[in-house]
Amino acid sequence: MNSFTRIGIFGLLSVSVFGCSGPSSDELKLYSEKCVEFYKEKRAENGEHVEYRSNWMKDGRLVISLAEKESKSDSSYTEGLCVIDLKEGTIELPGLFNQGRWDK
């Protein structure tokens, strides 16, 4: 077996064993929608507008940043975080004193 074949096989095994660094775009869309719904239910006041901003992986969990606005057209917002444990299938909204743990 030549070195190019070994590198190709190793590359395929690495991708299949280690996977990607996070969820697929379809999974991300689903998770972000669930986070928006959960945030609205637990934290948003008076039916305020909540929207997805960004995401990152930290400590094996998917962190989704949300913007809470008084109306959709507002440029100012309050940031909220939603933490998803992909293995356990749980969603958490960190409290004020625990949000720093999940920052980028």
Q: Does any domain span residue 68?
A: yes
Cα 4 from Cα 103, distance rounded (Å): 41
Query: pTM for this structure?
Result: 0.76
Residue 39 · residue 93 · CB < 8 Å: yes
* Residue 51 falls inside a structural domain: yes
Q: Which residues contact 24 (CB under 8 A, 6 or more apart)?
A: none
Side-chain-side CA neighbours of 64 within 13 Å: the count stands at 29
Q: Is residue 69 part of a domain?
A: yes
pLDDT class for 20, splitting at 50, 70, 90?
Answer: low
Would residue 77 count as lying in a domain? yes
More confident residue, 5 or 53: 53
Q: Which residue segment(s) compose the domain that 39 sits in?
A: 22-102
13, pLDDT greater than 60: no
> How many domains, in total, are found in the chain?
1
